[in-house]
Chain A
């Protein structure tokens, strides 16, 4: 009966496990077991900022320019022109991207934050990483609340479908208390000399300052900005043009920026440059934005392009286009811009300081004049000589000084993702937009973006913003 052995041999082959063990995939059960995982989970958060397709590289500058008096679009992309024409709808794809991508950043932050306590690292390391992750989360929430108002405050990431819960709007007060606490925590736990590109104690102070100003908490805001100014760690670049060159990232003026490189570049110049240079002229500055500048203002020549040499060497003249973020040496054909986009730089801090002081002192003060004039003085340098333009500001009443600060912010920070926020904070959205875009339907509705229609379908507890 030799056959029997054959059969026994066969049966012996049938042992096999049906447990599933993903060998080349990292599952949530297997993470945060090593010390390095804590850092990796925090580093992952940066994808929501420092990549060419992040909200901050693609849309942040765009919506601030479009939904204000700075720019308009050629109308070919309705998602863009809805912002520029103040007929924004809940179906807008950019609004949906902003909503989803910011919450993705928050999810990545939450994941790091909720796991840090159990990570096999020292308490000090935990505090440092928690400071960084909590800063990033607060940074996303600060933008969310400015874009959308009282949004759901999610403070923990689900790790399985069964943990997904629907959550409605969190009251504004609660969100503000949260942001205050988080930025303060970050301020207390972030290092003064963080690695370039990462938030430092000063970055936290800068956001604390901006948050406090937005919530009219001027005295604490001024404390925060004064802390940064008095540290002496930051200076304005000698030449405004240096701020927007490929090699100039994280310089002495930058506190926080969208870090990009040639592998992870944005398409900003594809949208803004003229067709003759390979761009699309998709979004253009309003003529009055260009015309308002003093013609010798360094910031005008850096921000705008009006002529360029074509292939035959002839000079082509075009209506003003934005060229601020174009370093032609590194980006010959527009479409992949590796230039960092500053989110908070020292000039911004100086102007915020002046803004807080104006509120506290009811008009100009020596300190406030000194900081705003520092910003103006830098713009006189045209790369070779100092031009006799932009005289120092002198004593002004509160309203005029506020107007002067707002104007300076437009010149200094134009197209960098501030204008819409600024106009709302100064209460001047309708006024300024109507001047630049007469007949525009701008109203109180446009102080917030609509909650995306898709979100309202998927989250029954969510409600639409007024007017949409």
Chain B
């Protein structure tokens, strides 16, 4: 269905379509329908295909041209990194604004977690059942988004939930059950190979070989396999009932989802309830209410970002843990990756600086659980003042109640044996209140005028209280009794945010051929405290399809040319970012603790909302009665005052400040095509989307090169912000083969290279390797994203495939720094063994090899993935009549079946630092995604 012009304005009411009817044609069977009705703006309705998604943001991967979506991790219900038309801010938020049933949905990760549990944060969209979604429309250009003013730069995603607007009853039941297996695993050395390798390495180092008979170890322990569940089931149930009378209609839906994680100890459960009601109270007065209740229970394991820089996480641990060691021997569990003795038993000696705990023990005995309930209610009132003028009012309330607990037993802390328990509670409440007048008037057949104006007030409060305890004298009560711990710390935080806005738009259209609209919004956000900021856009469209020449053309069914230019904003940063802060500044004094309070952050009272000027030129062409549709858009977005962490001279006593110090441009092309074709009983429809984006940092104040990059495996400073380069550009050294030993080779100061040591290129030829020898190793931002979707229907059968890919970017496979770093206890990959065996000089064993970020870990991140493949059958109506069912479809669906890539890691579609705009493209200890195969049945009565 087409999106109507007013559909994406704030506080939209729901267009009078019976959603459950529509469902048959669109979302349920995955047809992609683009109507020729309005192509004024770069706005695209998303294909809600068959994906077995857990969260609605997953729908956006590979379905809309210009969206880059990264599924950060495979831990169930993990948040997704989304960028529409590139990266616009370097320190803040690049995620689009989601409007659900007319209300901005606060989607910051902070609002679903308080941060106690392990693993990557859960998606803020996990509270919404994807089955409840009627449509998702993505707005990309300023002409469409400027009405969202200070939050529009990253694009706007309009989500509408299903409603029932007619009197007939309808019951729908959906069941889906399936099983998962990991997408892949690293090829690590088995016990015999590892023992042989150690023998060789010790021999090379002039030491005696430690294992007299390596073959007796056999394959040893397969730690990667041991952490997985035998059966990781996913099951999902959804029941909805819709009905009503002439005046009042309702849609009730309830759902339950239970997904076991691939890895022991991880689990995701969700229960949803939705009640949508529409009532015509009088001739002039109507109301709509949307209530959503969502509750999630998540058990997580330490993976992804939880591993900070140490590499201690279940995933990395399962790869590098010593394969010579048994999980347990005579009841004694191997706690750490000790060096194995001649008999394959742990010696209590570690060589690495980090004591990697047994991964299965870590997954199984660590207890990390999150429970969050979110209740949202949106009430929309509509009052017709005159025939052409309507007053709308909306009240939205959204409450989030989160609890998290975690316990790590003392057994897992080498040396101290102090257990760690923590608990936290977060409560967040949001309200919004908005009013607008809608005026529509057709002066004659030729002239139509729409006016729309309103204001809104919104705000939230978020409160966190958490405690943490270390060193439990008794561990049986775990986090239920934090008082038992010896060292306790408390944390509390309250943050408030509010915004007031005025907005309006005017649209004039002549003969449905020319249309011109002007949109403006003024926002005053408490975060910046500097009053109202105005954002505006003008857009123009020329609908040639409605002109006399083309009106009755036999081939061309529609042709629209559109252009828009305007400015949008990005709040980017969190509340209070502009303030100079003081914080606890503690130290030791005379054996005890001295508590002081000192400056902790320098503020910037001149911090401003980011402003982006956007130009969009596009065209829509529909051929053969819209059977073939083409949409092409060119855009150029310039952010003049992007907020970044700006380095300060050391003499100030501060490291960084948030400042509007950079300018960024994104320009690109987007192509969407869709084809619907009927050959008798066979119908075929498909869609291809391609987005090309060039991101470039245009300038940085004082022409600074800002080096960032949080510590990964002990290495930091691997990312750069520099004019002329893209955001998330890696910097590092160029590897230059292995040393044959001896002096005379350029090295890091003071190092004498031994045979087998890695060499790096001395670019400035000063004989020393240092930061001056680092170069641009490429950006992690894809130059092109692609999505392809195709469906064939023959009689009752249907077959669907969905492909998705990203191209022309780099990934840092940081896992390799762990897997190719031999010590006497850290296992190595088979690839490294083969490489090490081939190349002379032979590798030396080193205790703590200093590692550097170099092109050795940089790989081409391009990939194309068969994201989904579904086969379905719709039972014949005759059969159904016996059960008084109106529709029944059974299907088999598979996710992540195949990936075409040269990337050597498990999965190029991950992000260790999640949505961090300067740290995209890092793969380290990521929870593997699953190949998910499910069977399902949809039954309507």
Indicate if the CB atoms of A75 and B750 lie closer than 8 Å. Answer: yes
CA distance A37 to B458 in the complex (A): 36
Instruction: Flag A127-159 by CB within 8 Å of B: 1 or 0 each.
Output: 000000000000000000000000110100111
CA distance A197 to B587 in the complex (A): 11
Number of interface residues of A (CB under 8 A): 98
Does A198 belong to the interface (CB within 8 Å)? yes
Q: Which residues of A contact B383 (CB under 8 A)?
A: 3, 7
Indicate if the CB atoms of A45 and B606 lie closer than 8 Å. Answer: no
Does B435 belong to the interface (CB within 8 Å)? yes
CA distance A137 to B456 in the complex (A): 51
Does A245 belong to the interface (CB within 8 Å)? no
Does B387 belong to the interface (CB within 8 Å)? no
Indicate if the CB atoms of B492 and A19 lie closer than 8 Å. Answer: no
Q: Which residues of B contact A167 (CB under 8 A)?
A: 651
Residues facing B in A39-77 (CB within 8 A) are 40-47, 49-51, 73, 75-77
The distance from the CB of A52 to the nearest CB of chain B, in whole angstroms, is 8
Indicate if the CB atoms of A107 and B492 lie closer than 8 Å. Answer: no
CA distance A23 to B496 in the complex (A): 8
Does A226 belong to the interface (CB within 8 Å)? no
Query: A13-B395, A91-B772, A196-B590 known; A42 and B596 CB under 8 Å?
Result: yes
Indicate if the CB atoms of B750 and A107 lie closer than 8 Å. Answer: no
Does A311 belong to the interface (CB within 8 Å)? yes
Residues facing A in B429-470 (CB within 8 A) are 431, 433, 435, 455-459
- Select from chain A the residue with minimum beta-carbon distance to B415: A333
Indicate if the CB atoms of B604 and A160 lie closer than 8 Å. Answer: yes
Instruction: Flag B477-504 by CB within 8 Å of A: 1 or 0 each.
Output: 0000000000100001111101110000
Binds B, one of A24-32, A236-244, A363-371: A24-32
Indicate if the CB atoms of A249 and B591 lie closer than 8 Å. Answer: yes
Residues facing B in A302-324 (CB within 8 A) are 311
Q: Which residues of A contact B654 (CB under 8 A)?
A: 104, 107, 158
CA distance A46 to B592 in the complex (A): 13
The distance from the CB of B677 to the nearest CB of chain A, in whole angstroms, is 50
- Select from chain B the residue with minimum beta-carbon distance to A257: B590
Q: Which residues of A contact B648 (CB under 8 A)?
A: 164, 458
Q: Which residues of B contact A462 (CB under 8 A)?
A: 649
Does B938 belong to the interface (CB within 8 Å)? no
Q: Which residues of B contact A92 (CB under 8 A)?
A: 749
Indicate if the CB atoms of A40 and B393 lie closer than 8 Å. Answer: no
Query: A20-B527, A157-B599, A161-B659 known; A89 and B749 CB under 8 Å?
Result: yes
- Select from chain A the residue with minimum beta-carbon distance to B650: A100
- Select from chain B the residue with minimum beta-carbon distance to A332: B415
Indicate if the CB atoms of A10 and B847 lie closer than 8 Å. Answer: no
- Which among B431, B751, B849 has the highest number of chain A CB atoms within 10 Å? B751
Instruction: Flag A77-91 by CB within 8 Å of B: 1 or 0 each.
Output: 110111011011101
Q: Which of B457, B492, B593, B750 contacts A78 (CB 8 A)?
A: B750
CA distance A249 to B849 in the complex (A): 36
Does A14 belong to the interface (CB within 8 Å)? yes
Indicate if the CB atoms of B649 and A459 lie closer than 8 Å. Answer: yes
The distance from the CB of A129 to the nearest CB of chain B, in whole angstroms, is 12
Query: A45-B596, A157-B653, A459-B651 known; A18 and B591 CB under 8 Å?
Result: no
Does A173 belong to the interface (CB within 8 Å)? no
Indicate if the CB atoms of A455 and B650 lie closer than 8 Å. Answer: yes
Number of A-B contacts (CB under 8 A): 271
Q: Which residues of B contact A37 (CB under 8 A)?
A: 597
Binds B, one of A260-268, A377-385, A428-436: A260-268
Residues facing A in B563-621 (CB within 8 A) are 575-576, 579-583, 585-599, 602-606
Does A108 belong to the interface (CB within 8 Å)? yes
Indicate if the CB atoms of A7 and B393 lie closer than 8 Å. Answer: yes
Query: A77-B850, A332-B415, A335-B415 known; A162 and B495 CB under 8 Å?
Result: no
Query: A15-B457, A45-B596, A263-B487 known; A24 and B495 CB under 8 Å?
Result: yes
Residues facing A in B823-865 (CB within 8 A) are 846-850
Query: A103-B650, A108-B653, A249-B591 known; A47 and B598 CB under 8 Å?
Result: yes
The distance from the CB of B260 to the nearest CB of chain A, in whole angstroms, is 38
Does B547 belong to the interface (CB within 8 Å)? no
Instruction: Flag A179-200 by CB within 8 Å of B: 1 or 0 each.
Output: 0000000000000000111100
Indicate if the CB atoms of A159 and B580 lie closer than 8 Å. Answer: yes
Q: Which residues of B contact A157 (CB under 8 A)?
A: 599, 653
- Which among B487, B492, B582, B588 has the highest number of chain A CB atoms within 10 Å? B588
Q: Which of A41, A103, A458 contacts B596 (CB 8 A)?
A: A41
Binds A, one of B277-285, B535-543, B899-907: B277-285
Q: Which of B414, B576, B603, B653 contacts A28 (CB 8 A)?
A: B603
Indicate if the CB atoms of B590 and A250 lie closer than 8 Å. Answer: yes
Indicate if the CB atoms of B650 and A195 lie closer than 8 Å. Answer: no
Q: Which residues of A contact B599 (CB under 8 A)?
A: 28, 44, 107-108, 111, 157, 159
Does B770 belong to the interface (CB within 8 Å)? yes
Does A444 belong to the interface (CB within 8 Å)? no
Indicate if the CB atoms of B588 and A50 lie closer than 8 Å. Answer: yes
Does A457 belong to the interface (CB within 8 Å)? yes
The distance from the CB of A264 to the nearest CB of chain B, in whole angstroms, is 4
Does B871 belong to the interface (CB within 8 Å)? no
Q: Which residues of B contact A21 (CB under 8 A)?
A: 496
Indicate if the CB atoms of A89 and B768 lie closer than 8 Å. Answer: yes
Does B525 belong to the interface (CB within 8 Å)? yes
Does B348 belong to the interface (CB within 8 Å)? yes
- Which among B579, B605, B650, B770 has the highest number of chain A CB atoms within 10 Å? B650
Indicate if the CB atoms of A99 and B598 lie closer than 8 Å. Answer: no
Can you offer 6 A-B residue contacts whose CB atoms are under 8 A? A11-B435, A44-B585, A154-B653, A259-B587, A454-B650, A455-B650
**Contact surface of B with A, Cβ cutoff 8 Å:** 281-282, 284-285, 348, 351, 353, 381, 383, 391, 393, 395, 414-415, 431, 433, 435, 455-459, 487, 492-496, 498-500, 524-527, 529, 575-576, 579-583, 585-599, 602-606, 647-655, 657, 659, 704-705, 748-752, 768, 770-772, 846-850
A13-B431, A78-B751 known; 6 other A-B pairs, CB under 8 Å? A10-B433, A17-B526, A43-B594, A154-B651, A311-B348, A459-B650
